[in-house]
Amino acid sequence: MISKLYIVATPIGNLGDVTLRAIETLKNVDLILCEDTRQTKKLLDKYGIKKELLSYHSHSKLSKVEKIFELLEEGKDLALVSDAGTPGISDPGTVLVSKVISRVSLDVKVIPIPGPTALIAALSASGLPTHEFTYLGFLPHKKGREKIFKEITSAKRTIVFYESPHRILKTLESLQKFVPDKKVCLARELTKIYEEFKTGTAAELLEYLKQNPEKQRGEFVVIVA
């Protein structure tokens, strides 16, 4: 019996950003694999979905993966969601999907249910060139970080990456050093109450965040033209 693993995109903030197909899928599967059950429950409660949840994250033990394999072998249909956006885009989804696909004994159809992802939402409203872009995920914290900024110096395409609020000032300082003249867009808290797009040189954005410390909080997508 072929079982199905649905890769379901969920909102990146605003719980209204979920597709009809995503809701139907979450209602119909046997079990939902998620990162943080509390986070996923907020979405399920909003849409009146009662479903068994099994947490899966980057530190999950091998036994958890084996358990997921067993469920699929039994013919169960599963949905994989992450805390926000599209599973597999800078979150643990990638590893699971790759393990399921490479497990030859499994007869599983992997089906994407597309929806929000922060980098695309950010690009779409940034006003910066989007016909070609390179997505870097999260930048390395130490080793390889300087090399990445050097590569951005000579980049021919728009660069997009994710950044945490703890490192945003440090990252802007590096951009100021390596690409002082390039346009940078900070897309913060997308689809949420304090959503904001701010574009300028890295120096201008640094100044702006230092003057307004509350704007250093939240989730960021950084785009370099």
Give residues in contact with ligand SAM (CB under 6 A): 12-13, 82, 84-86, 89-91, 117-119, 162-164, 187, 189-192, 219-221
What is the smallest separation between the CB atom of 205 and ligand SAM, expressed in angstroms?
15
What is the smallest separation between the CB atom of 2 and ligand SAM, expressed in angstroms?
27
| Residue 221 vs 224, nearer CB to ligand SAM | 221
Bridge partners (DSSP) listed for residue 192: none
CA 93 to chain centre: 10
| Residue 85 vs 159, nearer CB to ligand SAM | 85
| Residue 16 vs 48, nearer CB to ligand SAM | 16
What is the smallest separation between the CB atom of 186 and ligand SAM, expressed in angstroms?
9
CA–CA distance, 43 with 49 (Å, rounded to integer): 8
What is the smallest separation between the CB atom of 107 and ligand SAM, expressed in angstroms?
27
| Residue 85 vs 224, nearer CB to ligand SAM | 85
What is the smallest separation between the CB atom of 14 and ligand SAM, expressed in angstroms?
8
| Residue 47 vs 138, nearer CB to ligand SAM | 138
Report, in angstroms and rounded to the nearest whole number, the Rg of the chain calculated over CA atoms. 19
Strands (E), 1-86: 3-8, 31-34, 53-55, 78-80
Which position's Cβ is nearest ligand SAM?
A: 85
What is the smallest separation between the CB atom of 202 and ligand SAM, expressed in angstroms?
17
Assess contact for 57 and 33: CB atoms under 8 A: no
Q: Which amino acid is at 74?
A: E
CA–CA distance, 221 with 186 (Å, rounded to integer): 6
CA–CA distance, 82 with 91 (Å, rounded to integer): 7
Bridge partners (DSSP) listed for residue 184: 200, 224
| Residue 204 vs 219, nearer CB to ligand SAM | 219
Strands (E), the chain: 3-8, 31-34, 53-55, 78-80, 108-113, 133-138, 158-163, 184-188, 196-200, 220-224
